[in-house]
Amino acid sequence: MLTTRTFFPSLFLAFIVSCLSAPLWSQAQDDGKQAEDAAPPTVFPHSATARWWVSGQINVVFQAHPDFHALYSGPNSLSARAEHATSRVLTLYTGYQLSKHTEALFDLESAGGRGISDALGMAGFTNVDVVRNPSLGSKPYIARAMLHQVFALGGKDEDSERTPISILTKLPERRLELRAGKVSLADYFDVNSVGTDSHLQFLNWTAVNNGAYDYAADTRGYTVAAMAEYHDHNWSTRFAEALMPKVANGPNLDFNLLRARSENIELEFRPELQKDKKTVIRLLSFINHANMGSYHEAVQAFLSGAEQQPDITAHRKQGRIKYGFGLNAEQEISKTVRVFGRLGWNEGQNESFAYTEVDQVVEVGADWRLDRWRRSNDKLGIAFITNGISRWHQLYLALGGDGFLLGDGRLTYGREDIVETYYNAHLWRGVYFSPELQWAAHPGYNRDRGPVIVPGLRLHVEL
């Protein structure tokens, strides 16, 4: 019978063995590079010319952690006792190309299972697939429903690879793009080809997105927005006006733009710093208007004796503003190695509202495609993230306040430092298997708790 003492060391050993042996096992399964290169990226082939599009994906993530040191725990703490959890996300992507430069997209999704500690206790939570509100259940919901129109402004048409979020096959070099409908802002802002795709790359909330970017979204990660993009041959810019949730990380959006909204703008530069090596630099800014609480007011009310516990929700005011900035960069080092990084900052005085409880973040990482083992669809990745919060946010948690993710009852502040690594093995057509490992010091910014190690396994199927 497996116990905590035997289960987690065994899981950790299995992770290490699978990382080391997967390239060799894969090579033994297919010793011919041509066969590997010919394997399609999806289980079923998809037309490159048809006006319609139907595809799907399945992402199943298992994560666990052993007992770890904790001097105390609170209502929103990561459990110090050993636990494990499995999440799953299923998505049906559909689209129809109305004309050469017009398309309509409609996606259905189902998110089920749960995350460790129900996604509480870490600002950089370990699984971005987890919906923080488990009471929503796994009933299918509309993830995306949008119209996309492209206006040609000059230059030659370029081939465009069809994806579930755009099925257009040709795009002019200079163009204006308009989108409207239900979207995920993370599909378009702060995108990074090394550290964005939670299906095939990292899983941590602050590895796949800039943690300080409190991007407008409901609990599931979607919003209603209007968006414009301008693209030129070596630079782009995009702007979106989006709806905010009615309450922090809530399931319902506020449709009154005079009362609540989010402005998002990003500049993207693609300079040719090295011949035949891709360089991308993105500069991001956002301004959120919502019914937010003030950390300063919540702390002062507690210290004055007006409240028995700091409560950010008791100090919300309509029209408060949260703003921030981000830097996102990626660089090809060779044909198989890429590096990337992010910097993020927000004002940290008003309530963390839509994404996670991070006010400053620094992230660096890299991935390596294993062509050397004739595994051109396999990748090994590693990232280091350090998250921080403002002084008033620290004091609020230290005095016993709860956020929508954090709340240990007390706090001895320290930056939340996270290392994540994965090995993504392409097994067959659209089937991928990824052992991965995360290590976090000071979970929830608390030096009195942790470190914690979180091994995991991911099965991903592109249909």
Q: How far apart are CA 254 and CA 261, in angstroms?
A: 8
The more confidently predicted of residues 5 and 144 is 144
For residue 39, the model assigns a pLDDT of 40
Tokens 């697939």 belong to: 129
For residue 53, the model assigns a pLDDT of 97
| Closest alpha carbon to 59 in 373, 443, 434, 361 | 434
Least confident segment among 9-18, 201-210, 392-401: 9-18
Residue 407: give its domain's CATH number. Answer: 2.40.160.10
pLDDT range class, residue 35, cuts 50, 70, 90: very low
For residue 108, the model assigns a pLDDT of 98
The string of pLDDT tens digits covering residues 40-61 is: 589 999 998 899 999 999 999 9
The more confidently predicted of residues 383 and 2 is 383
Q: How far apart are CA 297 and CA 147, in angstroms?
A: 42
Q: How far apart are CA 50 and CA 59, in angstroms?
A: 26
Q: Which amino acid is at 434?
A: S
For residue 134, the model assigns a pLDDT of 66
Q: How far apart are CA 98 and CA 164, in angstroms?
A: 16
Residue 115 token pair = 């995350």
Q: How far apart are CA 448 and CA 346, in angstroms?
A: 26
Question: SS3 for 196?
Answer: coil
2 pLDDT higher than 80: no
The more confidently predicted of residues 88 and 48 is 88
Residue 37 token pair = 């290169």
For residue 227, the model assigns a pLDDT of 98
Residue 410 token pair = 């007390």
For residue 136, the model assigns a pLDDT of 79
The string of pLDDT tens digits covering residues 235-285 is: 999 999 999 999 999 999 999 999 999 999 999 999 999 888 999 999 999
The string of pLDDT tens digits covering residues 123-150 is: 999 999 998 776 777 899 999 999 999 9
For residue 28, the model assigns a pLDDT of 37
For residue 8, the model assigns a pLDDT of 43
Residue 352 token pair = 């963390």
pLDDT range class, residue 37, cuts 50, 70, 90: very low
Distant-in-sequence, close-in-space partners of 171: CB < 8 Å, separation ≥ 6: 150, 157, 158, 160, 231
The string of pLDDT tens digits covering residues 369-423 is: 999 888 999 999 999 999 999 999 999 999 999 999 999 999 999 999 999 999 9
The more confidently predicted of residues 337 and 35 is 337
The more confidently predicted of residues 403 and 6 is 403
The string of pLDDT tens digits covering residues 154-166 is: 888 999 999 999 9
Q: How many domains does the chain have?
A: 1
Question: SS3 for 168?
Answer: coil
The string of pLDDT tens digits covering residues 345-371 is: 999 999 999 999 999 999 999 999 999
The more confidently predicted of residues 133 and 75 is 75
Q: If 0-12 CB within 10 Å is exposed, 13-18 middle and 19+ buried, where does residue 155 land?
A: middle
461 pLDDT higher than 60: yes
The average confidence (pLDDT) of the chain is: 91
341 pLDDT higher than 70: yes
pTM of the model: 0.90
The string of pLDDT tens digits covering residues 172-197 is: 999 999 999 999 999 999 999 999 99
For residue 38, the model assigns a pLDDT of 40
For residue 11, the model assigns a pLDDT of 45
Q: How far apart are CA 269 and CA 139, in angstroms?
A: 40
The string of pLDDT tens digits covering residues 297-315 is: 999 999 999 999 999 999 9
| Closest alpha carbon to 65 in 131, 116, 14, 127 | 116
For residue 401, the enclosing domain spans: 4-462
First to last CA, the chain: 37
Q: How far apart are CA 106 and CA 103, in angstroms?
A: 10
